[in-house]
Amino acid sequence: MTILVTGGAGYIGSHTCVELLNAGYEVVVVDNYYNSVPAVLDRVEQITGKKLKSYDCDIRDREGLDKIFAENKPDAVIHFAGLKAVGESAKLPLLYYENNISGSVTLFEAMEAANCKKIVFSSSATVYGNNPIPYKEDMITGDVSSPYGRTKHFIEKILGDVYAADNSWSVSLLRYFNPIGAHESGLIGEDPNGIPNNLMPYISRVAIGKLEKLTVFGGDYETKDGTCIRDYIHVVDLAKAHLCAVKKILDTTGLEAYNIGNGKGYSVLDIVHAFEKVTGKPLNYVIGARREGDLPAFYADATKANKELGWTAKYDIDKMCEDTWNFQTKNPDGIK
Ligand code: NAD
Ligand code: UFG
């Protein structure tokens, strides 16, 4: 079986390619390297001892996609490619709508033309907006606070319409919670350009001395220690959820959404302290103002994925911090 992976050189995509190759799938990556480098794919091959095929191609390039589909005849697609910086999306909404939504529509058109109608889509917990916690898949979604989040909501709805019009599609919408951690080899991990927006890469850059201190965004939320609560999930657990979802879509038709989280909430300070345990030294941080748009707390009810995909998260926050630190210390200047 051949799986076409858009955005396969990115953070979650690269870890998923490792799991796919280890499980015996042929892997074809399509990435324009906007937020990644081709060397990541060499490392995926190094970890697995297996080869993959890759194309430097933008998902908005219909002709390019048609050729790739014709050459490789994939059985299914895992669609990671997209822009993901929440703050940037508020400043550059059209870039986000064009890349994420137009790109996805072009990809779905190419899939339909090639009669490849099986897809796993990278969605996000952000689609739940202000719903009560824990989030469940049957809640009404779409009350989102950023253009980025809206792209996820719209793409989910577009796939819903595609499936409603043609029931031979098989669609799995995976709503990720907060992926952190890295492959335990330390060869691949999260390697953002510039100053990180997300908590974990920021913490690890402070710990290694590249950034001076972490600002904890808000210490006055109504949570156990005043800082925000999130459902952190090890990226390898998340990658494995894609394997389960692929197996399911290959065997069935339909459209389902699944929460991919641990089902547990940790505060920002829980993560800071777990990281300090791993490095053995205190982390320089200050409590600052709240960040606009942040919700006080959210975490998953992951029962549906546990039951229907046979998937459960295995790793705890200590392992997430250990693997992040291992990747950071082995790649102090990122992957070149
Ligand atoms: P990433 O930026 O590391 O990976 C995305 C990859 O897609 C990159 O390699 C990038 O070069 C590629 N890409 C972007 N636009 C492209 C285009 N037009 N054509 C071809 N390739 C393109 O991000 P990630 O953290 O691995 O996230 C993967 C997916 O999961 C994204 O869709 C993201 O929105 C979603 N997601 C991520 C998180 C998270 O916290 N990391 C949470 C929820 C959902
Ligand atoms: N935080 C800080 N300081 C920082 C960075 C983050 O205190 O320098 C806090 C945030 O306020 C938040 C928590 O750490 O309370 C996590 O923040 P992230 O930016 O790492 O993650 P978010 O929960 O804001 O959002 C992430 C992704 C979104 C995705 C969402 C749910 O960035 O794309 O998880 O999956 F939609």
pLDDT digits (tens, 9 = 90+) for 270-279: 999 999 999 9
Nearest CA to ligand 2 atom 20: 198
Q: For residue 19, how far is its CA from the centre of ligand 2 (angstroms)?
A: 26
Spell out the residues 6+ positions from residue 99 whose beta carbon is closer than 8 angstroms to its own: 60, 82, 83
Please indicate whether residue 104, judged by its CB atom, sits closer than 6 Å to ligand 1: no
What is the pLDDT confidence band of residue 316, given thresholds at 50, 70 and 90?
very high
pLDDT tens digit string along 74-116? 999 999 999 999 999 999 999 999 999 999 999 999 999 999 9
Three-state DSSP at 195 gives coil
Q: For residue 224, how far is its CA from the centre of ligand 1 (angstroms)?
A: 32
- Contact indicator for 41, 52 with CB cutoff of 8 Å: yes
pLDDT tens digit string along 205-262? 999 999 999 999 999 999 999 999 999 999 999 999 999 999 999 999 999 999 999 9
Give me the residue label for tokens 């490095």: 279
Catalytic residue among 11, 128, 148, 299, which? 148
Spell out the residues 6+ positions from residue 73 whose beta carbon is closer than 8 angstroms to its own: 2, 114, 116
Please indicate whether residue 85, judged by its CB atom, sits closer than 6 Å to ligand 1: no
Determine the average pLDDT of the residues in 178-196: 95
**Other Cβ atoms closer than 10 A to 330:** 12
Structure tokens at 246: 């692929």
Q: For residue 122, how far is its CA from the centre of ligand 1 (angstroms)?
A: 8
In the 8-state DSSP scheme, what is residue 125? G
pLDDT higher than 90, residue 193:
no
Structure tokens at 278: 């791993």
Atom of ligand 2 nearest to the CA of 148: 33
The pTM (predicted TM-score) of the whole model is 0.98
In the 8-state DSSP scheme, what is residue 100? I
Helices (H), the chain: 11-22, 39-48, 62-72, 86-91, 93-96, 103-113, 147-165, 199-207, 235-251, 268-279, 303-304, 317-330
Spell out the residues 6+ positions from residue 305 whose beta carbon is closer than 8 angstroms to its own: 241, 244, 258, 259, 260, 311
Is position 148 annotated as part of the catalytic site? yes
